Amino acid sequence: MQRSQELAEIAAATGTLPELPSGHFIDGGYTAAASRRVMESFDPGCAEPFAVFACGDAADVDAAVTSAHHAFEGVWRDVPAAERGRILARTAALIRDDAARLAVIESLDSGKPLGEAEGDVRGAARAFEYYAGACDKLQGDTFPIGPGYLGYSHHEPVGVAAQIIPWNYPISTAARGIAPALAAGCTVVAKPAEQTPFTALLLAEILKRAGLPDGVCNVVTGTGAEVGAPLAAHPGVDHITFTGSVATGIGVMKAAADNVTRVVLELGGKSPVIVLADCERERALDGVIGAIFENAGQICSAGSRLIIERSLHDDFVADLCRRAESLTLGHGLRNPQMGPVNSAAQLGRVAGFVERARRRGVAIATGGSETVDPQTGRGWFYRPTIAIGCASDDELVQEEIFGPVLTVQIAEDAAHALALANSSQYALVAGVYTKDFSAAHRLARGLDAGQVYINEYFAGGIEVPFGGNKKSGFGREKGLEGLLSYCRTKSVAARY
């Protein structure tokens, strides 16, 4: 805690932080881009660049994939599972040792409040701890194929696993992909988002300190077009986990198809939160506020559509507006209740959605405008916004905004709420607030979503499989199912 305060003060005084990594992390060390180019990363809290990093291209991707391929064939696939587990466990411990610095860097680079970044770093450590324990439990099966035969299977690592990572949860998304990949015996080439490159690089460095052999985890930084696209199309990549927008995900899937490469796609969401009249009111209010304003709404699983029973609507929405208006805004390192959005482009996108909605006559009950850090007059901020009386087919209800904008729809009863909730091209998560156990589980059964949260939005952790249906993607991360994404089954049938 002490250390994070010191670092936050250094950042406030100097506009940057000491000893940030520069260069890609390839084959066990930092290396400049082949082209020698660099690009800037911004501090969204003041809308200024604070550091440079390597601007990679296809040559760097190729070097990283080659390194990962050799490390897979020659080293990592044959390291005993228990030893892989020990390295991952040490990684978890080292992340915890370095948590203050990682959180400050994450907050500065992404804009998110320091407290949220600290939670993300704890989550990253937990992902390594969880998969550390899973390495030597990855058991195969036997099959009853008759007397005189032996049938069995085991899980082989897939090979080189690419991780294409977004800017909203840089270290958590990196960890939840890299940890199971390494646990399964895969090697990794990770490509963090160009808005937030630093914590993935530091993670690779920490893995090396924990004893990970060179080349097993590589990180190439740069843009989606120059690094992401060649990585997705690289014939040496055996698996791709992509988290990001639907449009880019479709492109990644098409590129993967040419090499028949496996993909897990974790795409957007427009997740409903159903609040029934018999809910525990305070709990539901806290839940709805957190679901949309945490990380300024830049969460694939943000609860961005409130669907509420009519009898509760007016008072509940009035309370929501009061709470939204009282949220403190500011630079992430001052740990406000809400930080900036991540980039000028994202701010423009959010503002555009709300402006178009206003022109269509949608009522904006609170918020609905850009703002700045009240202390410095700078940064990419958008006020916590609540739009009411929204029609189910309105753009604001149907499209992922990825910002602090909540829409409110009225439901006549639970069945109507369910129908409204499922009227979406997305199906990532859904929330339910009710004291009625049967109603909750009837809804959980009927909701089209990869996961359902009952009476606590964002409940659960690394143990719980996570992923989407419909346009939200397919495949699951986290949990033991997340581990199997990085495995392929080999079955053996023998006559004796």
Q: Which residues bind ligand NAI (CB under 6 A)?
A: 164-168, 191, 193-194, 223-225, 228-229, 232, 243-245, 248, 251-252, 266-268, 300, 346, 349, 400, 402
Interface stretch with Mg ion, choices 40-48, 363-371, 453-461, 471-479 (CB under 5 A): 40-48
Between 245 and 259, CB nearer to ligand NAI: 245
Q: Which does 244 bind (CB under 5 to 8 A by kind): ligand NAI, Mg ion, none?
A: ligand NAI
Cβ–Cβ under 8 Å, residues 333 and 11: yes
Residues between 161 and 220 that touch Mg ion (CB under 5 A)? 195
Cβ–Cβ under 8 Å, residues 44 and 381: no
Least distance from Mg ion to the Cβ atom of residue 48, Å: 10
Least distance from ligand NAI to the Cβ atom of residue 164, Å: 5
Residue 357 phi, psi (nearest 5): -65, -45
Letter string b/e over residues 55-87, b meaning 16 or more CB atoms within 10 A of that residue's CB: bbbbebbbbbbbbbbbbbeeebeebeeeebbbb
Letter string b/e over residues 221-255, b meaning 16 or more CB atoms within 10 A of that residue's CB: bbebebbbbbbbbbebbbbbbbbbbbebbebbbeb
Q: Which does 431 bind (CB under 5 to 8 A by kind): Mg ion, ligand NAI, none?
A: none
Q: Which does 41 bind (CB under 5 to 8 A by kind): ligand NAI, Mg ion, none?
A: Mg ion
Q: Which does 300 bind (CB under 5 to 8 A by kind): ligand NAI, Mg ion, none?
A: ligand NAI
4, 22, 31, 41: residue in contact with Mg ion (rule CB under 5 A): 41
Least distance from Mg ion to the Cβ atom of residue 30, Å: 19
Q: Which helix (H) or strand (E) holds 479?
A: helix 479-484
Q: Which does 448 bind (CB under 5 to 8 A by kind): ligand NAI, Mg ion, none?
A: none
Tokens of 93: 């411990």
Q: Which helix (H) or strand (E) holds 405?
A: strand 405-411
Least distance from ligand NAI to the Cβ atom of residue 231, Å: 7
42, 169, 381, 486: residue in contact with Mg ion (rule CB under 5 A): 42
- Contact between 109 and Mg ion by CB under 5 A: the answer reads yes
Between 196 and 407, CB nearer to Mg ion: 196
User: Which residues in 93-166 belong to E strands, given as ranges?
Assistant: 141-143, 149-157, 160-164
Positive or negative torsion for Cα 72, 73, 77, 79: negative
The residue from 266, 294, 309, 477 that is catalytic is 266
Look-up of token digits 């098409």: 254
Between 105 and 405, CB nearer to Mg ion: 105
Residues between 70 and 99 that touch Mg ion (CB under 5 A)? none
Kindly list the distances between the CA atom of residue 236 and the CA atoms of 23, 204, 232, in Å, as whole numbers in the listed order.
22, 20, 10
Q: How far apart are CA 460 and CA 209, in angstroms?
A: 30
From its phi and psi, is residue 272 left (phi > 0), alpha (psi between -120 and 50) or beta? beta
Question: Which residues, other chains included, contact 312 with Cβ-Cβ below 8 Å and sequence gap of 6+?
Answer: 275, 276, 277, 279, 281
Cβ–Cβ under 8 Å, residues 307 and 272: yes
Between 163 and 195, CB nearer to Mg ion: 195
Between 187 and 195, CB nearer to Mg ion: 195
Q: Which residue is nearest to ligand NAI (CB)?
A: 224
Q: Which does 252 bind (CB under 5 to 8 A by kind): Mg ion, ligand NAI, none?
A: ligand NAI
Q: Which does 224 bind (CB under 5 to 8 A by kind): ligand NAI, Mg ion, none?
A: ligand NAI
Between 186 and 350, CB nearer to ligand NAI: 350
The residue from 300, 390, 477, 487 that is catalytic is 300
Q: How far apart are CA 442 and CA 434, in angstroms?
A: 11
Cβ–Cβ under 8 Å, residues 68 and 215: yes
Least distance from ligand NAI to the Cβ atom of residue 344, Å: 12
Between 41 and 451, CB nearer to Mg ion: 41
Q: Which does 109 bind (CB under 5 to 8 A by kind): Mg ion, ligand NAI, none?
A: Mg ion
Least distance from ligand NAI to the Cβ atom of residue 266, Å: 6
Interface stretch with Mg ion, choices 102-110, 128-136, 247-255, 276-284 (CB under 5 A): 102-110
Interface stretch with Mg ion, choices 106-114, 176-184, 286-294, 331-339 (CB under 5 A): 106-114
Q: How far apart are CA 179 and CA 89, in angstroms?
A: 10
Least distance from ligand NAI to the Cβ atom of residue 439, Å: 29
| CA proximity to 24, closest of 11, 2, 39, 10 | 39
What's the first-to-final CA gap in the chain, in angstroms?
A: 63
Is 300 an active-site residue? yes
**In the complex, which residues of this chain contact Mg ion (CB under 5 A)?**
41-42, 109, 195
Question: Any idea which residues carry the catalytic annotation?
Answer: 266, 300
